[in-house]
Amino acid sequence: MNVFGVDIGGSGIKGAPVDLERGDLTQERHKVLTPHPSTPDAVAEGVAAVVENFGWSGPVGITFPGVVTSGVTRTAANVDKGWVDVDASKLLGDRLGGLPVTVLNDADAAGVAEMTFGAGRGRKGTVILLTFGTGIGSAVFIDGRLVPNTELGHLELHGHDAEKHASTKVKEDEGLSWHHWTRRVQKYLAHVEMLFSPELFIIGGGVSRKADKFLPLIEGIRAEIVPAELKNNAGIVGAAMAAAGR
């Protein structure tokens, strides 16, 4: 069964059809830059450009970088504030010509995909996926069940949102070395571990492709730490799963 998944991020909007039996893309993903300002209408145009690139005409799952409840976007930390309290399912569905649309938190989507097809398969206890990108997204699982919309990137660390201190964007903006940035990530992981005592951290987002550059540098964390196996495609796969009711 193939279903389309779209992953809206602070810097890019990417998507592709997904084979839900294998948990993998059936075609190379298509990506457009996230518009600035990233207003609801402008982002909807970007989503449409991705979906229409494939001539898709079935259900579409779409991730959003913020809290989503019943298809309504409740927060907008890394996109335009105009997204707050928007019925995103209706907005995006209308722009896609009435296609069935399911909208969910981006990290939750990535986490569900990793728990089903990737690094979290078969893992019990507390598992936390963290996506490092424009911000820091999180997905928390208890014995395989998702606790939605946790948004742990907004935990306070050194008086600020943690994602303002340890996201991949901060690494790039401040020109941090892998060693310097990893020290920040380590402090963040220690804070999350103190609060939740997970058995496993899964590190996702685009930086997961370079896990060998920083994961071996992390010290003092009791939980096992592994890179996301689906890497930066996890959100697309999880979005498609949500659209299929999985």
Asked whether residue 185 falls in the same domain as residue 116, the answer is yes
- Give the pTM: 0.95
Domain around 129: 109-231
171 and 88 assigned to the same domain: no
- Shared domain for 72 and 157, answered yes or no, is no
State mean pLDDT over 183-196.
Answer: 98
Strands 86-87 and 30-33 come out as unpaired
Average pLDDT over residues 193-219: 96
Look up the CATH number of the domain holding residue 23. 3.30.420.40
pLDDT of 158 over the 90 cut: no
Q: Are residues 58 and 161 in the same domain?
A: no
Same domain, 93 and 118: no
Per-residue pLDDT tens over the stretch 27-68:
999 999 999 999 999 999 999 999 999 999 999 999 999 999
